[in-house]
Amino acid sequence: MTVKVAAQALLYDQEAEAGLVGSIYRIEPDGGSTYIADTTVTMVDYASDQMDEVDELENAKPGRYLIQLTLPDGSIDTKDFKIVDGVESNVLFHIEHRGPQEFTALEAMQGARFVDVAEKADPKKEVLADFALDAIPSYFELQEDPENGYALSFVSGDIPVFSSSYSDVDSLSLVIDSDFSVKDAQYLLGDLESLQYATKETNGYIKFEFVHQGLIGGGAQKSAHVFERGVDIDRHYLVQKTEQGATFICLPTPWMTANEQEAAISLLLDVRSLGRAFDYTITVANPLINNVLGYVNAGAIHQAARLIPYSRAREMLFTKISRPIEAAIGGYLLLLGQDGNAYRRDSDDWKEWLKNLDMWFEWMPDGAIINAAQFFVMREGDADKSYEALMRGYKRGLPYFTFGLKLMMDGMRYFLREGDDQAGKCLANLETIARKTDPTKPFLAVNVAQKWDFSAISTYGPDLKALIEPEPKEKVEFYAG
The b-or-e profile of 423-458 (16+ CB within 10 A means b, else e) is bebbbebbebbbebbeeebbbbbbbbbbebeebbbe
- Is a pLDDT exceeding 90 seen at residue 414? yes
Is residue 18 domain-shared with residue 52, that is, in the same domain?
yes
pLDDT of amino acid 455 = 64
Is residue 168 domain-shared with residue 295, that is, in the same domain?
no
Beta bridge partners of 446: 248, 437
- Is a pLDDT exceeding 70 seen at residue 221? yes
Convert the pLDDT of each residue in 230-287 to its tens digit.
Answer: 888 889 999 999 988 999 999 999 999 877 789 999 998 888 765 556 778 898 877 7
Beta bridge partners of 24: 37, 67
- Is a pLDDT exceeding 70 seen at residue 215? yes
Is residue 306 domain-shared with residue 180, that is, in the same domain?
no
Alpha-carbon span 439 to 240, nearest angstrom = 16
Amino acid at 186: Q
In a domain, 477, yes or no: no
Amino acid at 408: M
Convert the pLDDT of each residue in 320-349 to its tens digit.
Answer: 999 999 999 999 998 888 655 666 666 668
Is residue 205 domain-shared with residue 278, that is, in the same domain?
yes
Question: H or E segment at 265?
Answer: strand 265-270
Is residue 245 domain-shared with residue 183, that is, in the same domain?
yes
Alpha-carbon span 413 to 434, nearest angstrom = 14
Alpha-carbon span 166 to 421, nearest angstrom = 17
Alpha-carbon span 136 to 132, nearest angstrom = 7
Is residue 346 domain-shared with residue 367, that is, in the same domain?
yes
- Rg of the chain, C-alpha, whole Å: 24
Number of domains in the chain: 3
- Is a pLDDT exceeding 90 seen at residue 389? yes
Query: What would the mean pLDDT of 226-232 be, rounded to a whole number?
Result: 85
Nearby residues of 426 by Cβ (< 8 Å), 6 or more positions away: 169, 391, 394, 412, 476
Residues found in the chain: 481
- Is a pLDDT exceeding 60 seen at residue 118? no
Q: Are residues 350 and 317 in contact, defined by beta-carbon separation less than 8 angstroms?
A: yes
Alpha-carbon span 245 to 147, nearest angstrom = 8
Average pLDDT, the chain: 81
In a domain, 474, yes or no: no
pLDDT of amino acid 447 = 95
Beta bridge partners of 449: 246
Domain span at residue 58 reads 3-99
Query: What would the mean pLDDT of 291-316 be, rounded to a whole number?
Result: 85
- Is a pLDDT exceeding 50 seen at residue 125? no
Is residue 90 domain-shared with residue 170, that is, in the same domain?
no
174-179's contacts with Cβ under 8 Å and 24+ in sequence apart are: 174/468, 174/472, 174/474, 175/448, 175/449, 176/432, 176/433, 176/436, 176/446, 176/448, 176/449, 177/432, 178/467, 178/468, 179/449, 179/451
Higher per-residue pLDDT: 93 or 123:
93
- Is a pLDDT exceeding 60 seen at residue 472? no
- Is a pLDDT exceeding 70 seen at residue 90? yes
Is residue 184 domain-shared with residue 213, that is, in the same domain?
yes
- Is a pLDDT exceeding 60 seen at residue 478? no
Cite the beta strand spans of 340-456 per DSSP E.
445-449
Nearby residues of 35 by Cβ (< 8 Å), 6 or more positions away: 23, 24, 25
- Is a pLDDT exceeding 90 seen at residue 427? yes
Percent of the chain having pLDDT more than 90?
40
pLDDT class for 121, splitting at 50, 70, 90? very low
pLDDT of amino acid 19 = 75
pLDDT of amino acid 340 = 56
Is residue 340 domain-shared with residue 420, that is, in the same domain?
yes
In a domain, 454, yes or no: no
Domain of 8: which CATH number? 2.60.40.180
In a domain, 253, yes or no: yes
Is residue 248 domain-shared with residue 360, that is, in the same domain?
no
Nearest to 288 by CA among 329, 324, 322, 249: 329
In a domain, 48, yes or no: yes
In a domain, 455, yes or no: no
pLDDT of amino acid 171 = 85
Amino acid at 348: D
Alpha-carbon span 356 to 337, nearest angstrom = 20
Query: What would the mean pLDDT of 185-197 be, rounded to a whole number?
Result: 83
Is residue 59 domain-shared with residue 176, that is, in the same domain?
no
